Structure 1
Amino acid sequence: MTAPIRVLVADDQPLIRAGFATIIDAQPDLEVVAECSDGRAAVDLARRHRPDVVVMDVRMPVLDGIEATRLLAGAGVAEPVNVLVVTTFNLDAYVYEALRAGASGFMLKDAPPAQLLAGIRTVASGAALLAPEVTRQLVGRYADRIRPPGASSDDVPLTPRELEVLRLIASGLSNAEIAATLVLSQETVKTYVSRILTKLDLRNRVQAVVYAYRRGLVT
């Protein structure tokens, strides 16, 4: 049998934390290895238990979810942990900051249980979880604020076609939509996405979106 996906739940609201844990533990392929109510405890427990996924609230005492995510999954972390951020608001600036800090994706707290479970499995697999429409709304809303002065695409180490694919990823298109737009097969698009992530030293599509906006590749 395949070992269950090990999950840490971090949320300062006891009812939500208990609800998440109950839903997750009821699945044969998922297992809650720890729970906590603040970001500092999340970091300590994650380092101790090495979960496959941390379900992370954004606003928590002691250390918020953004800083906790940066410590667990940010640039320079030797063994990054997959973090799935949960939030009450789908256009929360703090959520964008959490994604920039290294989270693999996010979802709303009022999402159906099946969506939460699917999200955990997606993030555990190493894939990113960021719906195309959310990409357009969330990152696009804060594009001007997050783009450094003088940002340029001149030194981006990508071919013209790879740049084109990256711009479409950042615009919120799925692989299927990119394939239709560029008249390519989905397998070819997957190859381009893989190359882009490798060349830019990024872990997933979420980081690719952030990179594109910070470099001014999309507006």
Structure 2
Amino acid sequence: MAALSVLIADGNPVVRAGLAALLGAAGGFEITAEAADGREALSLTRRHAPDVVLLDVRMPGVDGISALPHLVRLAPVLMLTYSREAEIIRETLLLGAGGYLVHGEFTADDLVRAVRDVREGRAHFTPTAAGALLAELRASSQPQRTVAQSPERLHNSVLFGLSSREAEIMDLIASGMSNQQIAAACFISEKTVKNHINRIFAKLHSTTRSEAIARWLGTARPGVTGRG
């Protein structure tokens, strides 16, 4: 049986070395490349065409969530990270990840099975990720209060390419909420809020809160940038 080729993308070189050692000791795997951030992961995946990509969430530069939708077009992706937030787990799965492992919750044998499962299209999760999915399913089965979007908000969401969660957070930003207040309102961590805001600002071509609010509310004029 040919060895499975694996690309490891993690910002921590010690973690990359550890994962490479675990798979190397198991046999049947070839580590074709290692990447320190999402941009490098995408470049190396295009170059080496690995069978599976192991991807961390939080990395310097381009993070795992930003790189994920591009990587899944090239190879199956297994998230392998310390990030335990249900919101992040849900988002990565919606973006196409084939599984989600949280460090500290799997053995070397678990890792080997997970890589092989994801390669074959079988989902694999450690307890935290599985619990988050179960909670999501239970929540979705409860009656939900439908909140109608205004035509302006719907138009802006489509215009800027924001997801429903990003549009919700942008509305909270426009209302004057701090990151801490947004995290509490959305039941997510401040780190997750910051990740969302980084992607929102990129989509709105803004570098400050005031500039993003101006664009979102339709008050920005071409060539005029906000300050704040």
Same fold, TM-score > 0.5, yes or no: yes
Q: Judge conservation of contact 1:9–1:36 (CA < 8 Å) in 2.
A: yes
Deviation track 1:138-158 (CA, whole Å, cap 9, x = no partner) reads 5656899xx9967xxxxxxxx
Alignment root-mean-square deviation, CA: 2.8
Deviation track 1:136-186 (CA, whole Å, cap 9, x = no partner) reads 035656899xx9967xxxxxxxxxxxxxxxxxxxxxxxxxxxxxxxxxxxx
Mapped to 2, the partners of 1:26 and 1:20 lie a distance apart of 10
Pairing partner for 2:84 from 83, 90, 112: 90
Normalised by the length of structure 1, the TM-score is 0.58
Q: What stretches of structure 2 of length at least 5 have no aligned partner?
A: 149-228
Mapped to 1, the partners of 2:141 and 2:38 lie a distance apart of 27
Letter in 1 for 2:115: I
Structure 1 position 133, deviation (Å): 4.0
Secondary structure (helix, strand or coil) at the match of 1:20 reads helix
Q: Structure 1 residues 2-11 or 24-33, which shifts more?
A: 24-33
> Closer, same or farther in 2 for the Cα pair 1:143/1:84, shift >3 Å?
farther
Mapped to 2, the partners of 1:58 and 1:134 lie a distance apart of 16
1:137 and 2:163 equivalent? no
Deviation track 1:34-78 (CA, whole Å, cap 9, x = no partner) reads 0011010011111111111100000112211112111111xxx4x
2:39 corresponds to: 40
Q: Judge conservation of contact 1:8–1:34 (CA < 8 Å) in 2.
A: yes
1:112 and 2:125 equivalent? no
Identity of aligned residues (%): 35
Count of residues in correspondence between the two structures: 143
Mapped to 1, the partners of 2:27 and 2:132 lie a distance apart of 30
> Closer, same or farther in 2 for the Cα pair 1:13/1:125, shift >3 Å?
same
1:59 corresponds to: 58
Secondary structure (helix, strand or coil) at the match of 2:53 reads strand
Mapped to 1, the partners of 2:139 and 2:60 lie a distance apart of 27
Secondary structure (helix, strand or coil) at the match of 1:26 reads helix
Looking at CA atoms only, which structure, 1 or 2, has the larger radius of gyration?
2
Mapped to 1, the partners of 2:133 and 2:25 lie a distance apart of 31
2:117 corresponds to: 122
2:97 corresponds to: 103
Normalised by the length of structure 2, the TM-score is 0.56
